[in-house]
Copies of this chain bind each other. A is one copy, B any other.
């Protein structure tokens, strides 16, 4: 397709990469936190719950700013990490971190809702068959919540494709490194007459999101066919 310039193609590729890794890396902690919130009983549960929802409640710029403060080179998290050679500043990994954090509440909610509807009687049955808590989770709960995990992943992915405020504030907009589709779209919208160019990128965004959505729907249908029908 030659109606997108090379920089725009770069933005598309980068957005896909960022959204993909943001989703993949937030899945394990997302499942863990969702499980803790759904089934755990511990002090500070509400604090964890609040923390997870924070990126939803705060304007994205604030989240981006907090990320900058925390993960910047002198930040309380950034400084020790940079000693280990891990740096998010101005890198695509930072964009992925921002996207992951912004999508985290959506992912956790979806997974948590699924966990809450798994019948504890089945988990009990697995326990009587010798499965420890870990194995009950791995062999019964996890497979049964796959549709919820998929829903959470697709929400996180879609959010990551659209995330702008936190990303640009945290890792700015460096073509080829941190310029995602939304940053590019935003740039076009800032200048008079840029709507046409923005529209092209919006269409690309929508196409990617629709592809991801439909794929996830097909997968979900397969999964629920497998599970469907009750015990």
Chain A residues with CB under 8 Å of chain B are: 46, 49-50, 53-62, 65, 105-106, 109-110, 112-114, 116-117, 119-121, 147-148, 151, 155, 158-159, 161-165, 182, 185-186, 189, 198, 202, 205-206, 208-210, 213-214, 217, 224, 230
Contacts and interface: CB of A to CB of B under 8 A. Distances in A.
B165 A213 contact: no
A202 B55 CA distance: 11
Contact of A59 (B147, B158, B186): B186
State the oligomeric state as a number of copies.
2
Main SS at interface, chain A: helix
Given A106-B106, A155-B105, A189 B61 contact: yes
Contact of A162 (B59, B164, B230): B59
A161 B57 contact: yes
Contacts of A105: 155, 158
Nearest to A54: B206
Given A46-B214, A54-B209, 15 more contacts: A46-B210, A49-B213, A50-B206, A50-B210, A56-B155, A56-B209, A57-B209, A59-B162, A60-B162, A62-B185, A110-B110, A113-B114, A116-B224, A119-B230, A164-B165
Nearest to A190: B61
Given A106-B155, A148-B113, A214-B46, A53 B209 contact: yes
A91 to B, nearest CB: 21
14 contacts: A50-B209, A50-B210, A57-B162, A57-B206, A57-B208, A57-B209, A58-B182, A59-B162, A59-B182, A105-B155, A113-B147, A114-B117, A120-B230, A121-B230
